[in-house]
Structure 1
Amino acid sequence: MEKLKFEFVVKAGEDPKTNVCCMTSITNADKNIFLIPEKLQPVRLHEMIIKTPAYEKVKLTLQRRHDKRQVWISMTPEQLEVYMDEDGNMQFQGYLLEEITVRPQLQASAAGISEEALAKILENFADKKRDIFKHQNVKKQTERMVLDKFTNKTTNASQWLTTFETECRRVGIEEDIPKIEALRLFLEDSCLDWYRSMIIKFTVDSEWSQWKKMFCETYADKGWSPVRYAMFFRYRQGSLLEYAIKKERLLLEINKRMDKSTLIDLIAIGLPIFVADRLDREDLKETEDLFNSLRGLEHLVSKKIWEKNSVGLENKTKEKNGKDYHPCRICEKENKGNRYHPESLCWFKNKNNDGPKREQIRSVNHSELEVELNEIDPKN
Structure 2
Amino acid sequence: MKNQEKHHSNVFMRWFLDNKFSIFLLNLLLFFLIIFVFNKISFVLNPFWAFFNAILPPVLLATIQYYLMNPVVDFLEDKAHVPRIISIAILYVIVVILLVWIIISIVPVLQQQTNSLIKNWPNIWNDAQKAVESALHDPRLNQVRGNINQTLSSAQDKLIKAGQQSITIAIDNIFSAVNVLTMIFMTILTAPFVLFFMLKDGHNLKPYIARIAPKKMQASFSELLHDINEAISSYVRGQITVAFWVGVMFAIGYSIIGLPYGVVLAISAGVLNMVPYFGTFIAIIPALILAVMNSPMMLIKVIIVFAIEQTIEGRVISPLVIGSKMDMNPVTTILLLIGASSVAGLGGVVFAIPVYAVVKIIVTRVFNYYKQVSSLYDEVRPESDKKVIKNDDKLTSK
**Largest Rg, 1 or 2:** 1
Structure number with higher helix proportion: 2
| Fold-level similarity (TM above 0.5) | no
- Normalising by the smaller structure, the TM-score range is under 0.3
